Amino acid sequence: MFYGSANITNEASAADGESAMQASRHRWQDIDRDLRALSKRRGRLDADEARLLCNAARLEVWRELGKASLLEYLEEVLGYGPRAASERVRVALALDELPDLAEALALGELSYSAVRELVRVATPATQAEWRDYARDKNLRQIEEKVAYHHRGDRPKDRPSPEPRARVLRFEVRPATFALIRQVQQVLADERGGMLDDDALVAAMCNAVLGSEGGPDDGVVREHAKFQVVTQGCPSCEWAAQEGAGVCVPIDAADRARAECDAERLSPTARTTQDVTPKKRLAVFRRDGGKCCVPGCLSSRHLEIHHIVPRGNGGSHHLDNLTLLCDGHHRALHDGKLTIKAPALTVRWAHYGAKIQTHVGFSSPHEAEAVQALVQLRFPRRSARNAVTTALRRLGSTAALEHVVREALRSLHTSR
């Protein structure tokens, strides 16, 4: 009897478990169905909102209600902040000229986020093709595709080598905001001017990723800063950079910057490095571990640059290599700055700026002189300025002892 009762109990428990599993299965299927239905209803609401926003913009509804602008009106009626309201109006006005995409949104075929990206490139003549392309794609795939194209392009057109900028938005505590302001000031002092958003974020990212290095730190990175994967098509004009598993398109300037100082990875051959660790160390020592642009005091985020581009026959010889901070390196490959050898002439392209010349490379004793003064408890920046002044008076061939003595005289005089 005992064993029979146990068997009956086990069978009942198994039946209850199977029923529970079936009920659970139905529950997740119901949830999935309801979410998909909600998505379609939301699409219809977004399409209706876009139509009404166009009419509101045309009729200037906000004026009838005493509002100062459409954005103020939308904040009160729909609860949108200025940024969200502006984006909604942009999409609405675009959809007014793109009925195919408006229909895809209303039918729930495409999400609002997908349509928001597609209206950046679609036109009345190309909207049907973009709708067909996006039908079986997720949002990330659509964003990556749109990033490579301009308005009027078709999905099958060749990708543009100049991807559009990405927008980032952060909300930080007041203390963090103060830290960012301090970092911005430090970098501005080093580079002789305030940095734009891109340069500021890039500098902070480079600091975290360990792109520091130079004689002042006692360490020079042995490997190239950039890794380039050999592509099958050498004539391709666009490139991408991998970040945490995501391939992000980069423009021609960033590609050229990476080509200056690259470690090349190939699936069929061993890894090669353009500038050997020994030669890299020699460049850092010779240039004093700082950017070669006159007036720039940056000794961080430094990159090797080929003065004569490799595509124009430039070699990896020491005389053709110099150090640039990441900001000036980017500016150079963006066409805002030019550097020519052998006098290392630096010229800014904007506003007809005058030519600045830094005669020859830094003194071979410059880094040692700065380090000697730092060991004597002088601030590093003051030491650099004093050594630069001393070399200007004595010449780049002056002995280390004379450079240090002249720099000390300058430091004591300024006190």
Q: Which two tokens stand for residue 44?
A: 């219809």
Q: How confident is the model at residue 109 (pLDDT cuts 50, 70, 90)?
A: very high
Taking the C-alpha atoms of residue 326 and residue 226, their distance in angstroms, rounded to an integer, is: 12
Residue pLDDT, tens place only, 21-42? 666 667 888 888 899 899 889 9
Provide mean pLDDT across the span 132-161: 87
The pLDDT score that the predictor gives to residue 194 is 66
Amino acid code (one letter) for 373: L
Residue 313 backbone class (left: φ over 0; alpha: ψ -120 to 50; beta: rest) = left
**Residues in CB range of 387: below 8 A, 6 or more apart:** 366, 369, 370, 373, 403, 407
Sequence letter at residue 355: I
Q: Specify the range with the lowest mean pLDDT, choosing from 237-246, 318-327, 364-373.
A: 237-246
Query: What one-character-per-residue DSSP string does 45-114 give?
Result: HHHHHHHHHHHHHHHTHHHHTT-S-HHHHHHHHT---HHHHHHHHHHHHHHTT-HHHHHHHHTTSS-HHH
> In order of start, what are the domains of the chain with their CATH numbers?
31-147 (no CATH), 174-338 (no CATH), 366-414 (1.10.8.10)
Whole-number mean pLDDT of the chain?
75
- Confidence (pLDDT) at 337: 76
Q: How far apart are CA 79 and CA 69, in angstroms?
A: 14
**pLDDT score of 59 more than 80:** yes
Q: Which residues share a beta bridge with 262? A: 226
Contact (Cβ atoms closer than 8 angstroms) between residue 216 and residue 289? yes
Which of 238, 246, 57, 229 lies closest to 144 in space, CA to CA? 246
CA distance 134 to 104: 10
Range of weakest confidence among 86-100, 179-193, 272-286: 179-193
Helix (H) or strand (E) holding 273: strand 269-273
- Contact between 384 and 350 under an 8 Å Cβ cutoff? The reply is no
| CA atoms lying within 13 Å on the CB side of residue 96 | 16
Asked whether the predicted pLDDT for residue 91 surpasses 50, the reply is yes
